[in-house]
Homo-oligomer: A and B are copies of this chain.
Amino acid sequence: MPDALTATDDVHHVDDSALRAFFGYRMKRSFNVIQADLALALKPFELRMLTFTALTLVVSNPGLRQSQLAEAMDVERPNLVTIVEELVRRDLISKERVPTDRRAYSLQATRQGRMLCAEATTAVTAHEEALLGGLDEEMRAGAIEAMNRIEQGRQRG
């Protein structure tokens, strides 16, 4: 039975019940775990979450422009520059001027980029499977549905 100021004797378990009432707090804590695990899964490929996301989107959408990629990733255009730069430097994607609009660049994954993306995807899938293994299908689907509604509630709310 801890007793502040003088005591605080053992207190290895701080009372965070006031915070645990909040969805956002719970989500932050579990997202930290997910993100750390994802970073670990991507490390062998020298990818970060942002570069992995960008690479995957370019692989799935050949010819994508940077502005479209930025919008899809919910990232400001200036912040995408270094991400694209890094992927180009590593020969994972290439940039070509769009003939009909010489302001724009069209992004293409290289063969190497597609291969790395496939390998990284496999690794990430395995990591998530290990991390979420304790959750049955119903619970996982429910959580995903809840997250989808929250995301889509942005424009409504």
- What residues of chain A have their CB less than 8 Å away from a CB belonging to chain B? 2-8, 11, 14-19, 21-38, 49, 53, 56-57, 59-65, 68-69, 71-72, 74, 96, 98-101, 104, 106, 108, 121, 124-125, 128, 130-132, 134-135, 139-140, 142-151, 153-154, 156-157
Main secondary structure of the interface of A (DSSP, over half): helix
Closest 8 CB pairs of A and B: A4-B63, A30-B147, A143-B146, A5-B106, A5-B63, A14-B72, A142-B142, A8-B63
Contact A61 B15 (CB under 8 A): yes
Give Cα A26–Cα B99 distance, bound, in whole angstroms: 35
How many copies of the chain does the oligomer comprise? 2
Contact B146 A5 (CB under 8 A): no
Chain B residue at minimal CB-CB distance from A4: B63
Give Cα A68–Cα B33 distance, bound, in whole angstroms: 20
Give Cα A33–Cα B24 distance, bound, in whole angstroms: 10
Contact of A2 among B101, B143, B154, B156 (CB under 8 A): B101
Give Cα A149–Cα B131 distance, bound, in whole angstroms: 9
Contact B6 A100 (CB under 8 A): yes
Whether A151 touches B30, Cβ cut-off 8 Å, given contacts A4-B106, A143-B142, is yes
Q: Inside 8 A of A100's CB, which chain B residues have their CB?
A: 3, 6
Whether A64 touches B150, Cβ cut-off 8 Å, given contacts A28-B35, A157-B131, is no
Whether A62 touches B7, Cβ cut-off 8 Å, given contacts A28-B31, A29-B147, A56-B18, is yes
